[in-house]
Structure formats: C-alpha cells, structure tokens
Amino acid sequence: MKKIIIIIISIVALLILSACPEEIEHEFIYIKNNTDKEIRFVFSINKQDSNFYCSDNGKTIYLGVDSNSTFNLQAGDAYSSWDGNLKLLTIFILDGEQYNKYWQQPCDTIRKYVPVLYTYRLTLADLQQMNWTVVYPPNN
C-alpha cells in the first residue's frame, strides 16, 4: 500500500511540475512598419482598451517607427512576466503624420484627430507565433 501511495504522490508531483508555466525570457518585441509613412504606437498591458492612453498635460509622447523600418521595443525583463502577470498586450498603431501635428494638444484633441490605424490585442501565443514581431500593416 505504501508503494502505491508513493507512486501516486510522485505522479501528482510530476503533473504539477509539468503544468507550471515556463519562464519566458524575451527582451524585445519588434514593431515593423511596412509602409512608406511613419507610424507611432502606444501599448497597454492587460487591458481590453478601445481608446489609447494620452496625457492631458499637453505633451503625449509615443514612439515612432520610420517608414519601411523596424523598431526594437525593449522592456528589459517585462516580457518574461507572461508566466505570471502579463496576459494581454494591446498595441495601437497611429498615423505618424497626424500625431506630429497634434502631440502637444490635450488628449481629447489627439483622440479626435489622430486616427488609430490598427489595434493589436496579443497574447503570449500570438507573439510567439509572430516570432515577437508585430508587422504593420498586418499580414492577413
């Protein structure tokens, strides 16, 4: 009977250990702009946002990606937290030209005049499938 209990405990321990998510050690997400115009982007973590964040202090700064180039979004160890806290990454791709006109305006003005070109809502599986590269415009 003791052998059966030990075998059962061993099997349960093995199942528990194999069910633990592996540590994701990835430092970069690449934002690739395959258009002939600059884009800007902003992202949020674990939110199903339909509106992008902007500041009401009159200076909203988003990262830009030049035409036909790739930006290396480095967040240190942030992407390794997919195994715990990070469940969803929402990335808003914005019109770079319009952003450059309105970036010093209040948030409501930016949201009104700077169009969202595309919104990505990405899980860990999505990013792994995309090889950690978010391509705009998306390959459908």
The DSSP secondary-structure symbol of 22 reads: P
SS3 state of residue 72: strand
Question: What CATH number should be reported for the domain holding residue 33?
Answer: 2.60.40
Strand partners, 45: 89
Residue 119: the pLDDT is 94
| Residue 1 within any structural domain of the chain | no
| Residue 106 within any structural domain of the chain | yes
Q: To 5 degrees, how large is the angle CA 75–CA 59–CA 40?
A: 50
SS3 state of residue 46: coil
| Residue 102 within any structural domain of the chain | yes
| Residue 5 within any structural domain of the chain | no
pLDDT tens for each residue of 74-128? 764 455 555 566 778 889 999 999 999 999 998 899 999 999 999 999 888 898 8
pLDDT tens for each residue of 5-53? 333 333 433 333 344 445 455 677 899 999 999 999 988 877 776 788 7
| Residue 84 within any structural domain of the chain | yes
Backbone CA torsion sign across 104, 106, 108, 109: negative
Q: When comparing pLDDT for 42 and 67, which is higher?
A: 67
* Total domain count, the chain: 1
Q: Tokens standing for 28?
A: 């970069």
Which residue range forms the structural domain that includes residue 116? 23-136
| Residue 18 within any structural domain of the chain | no
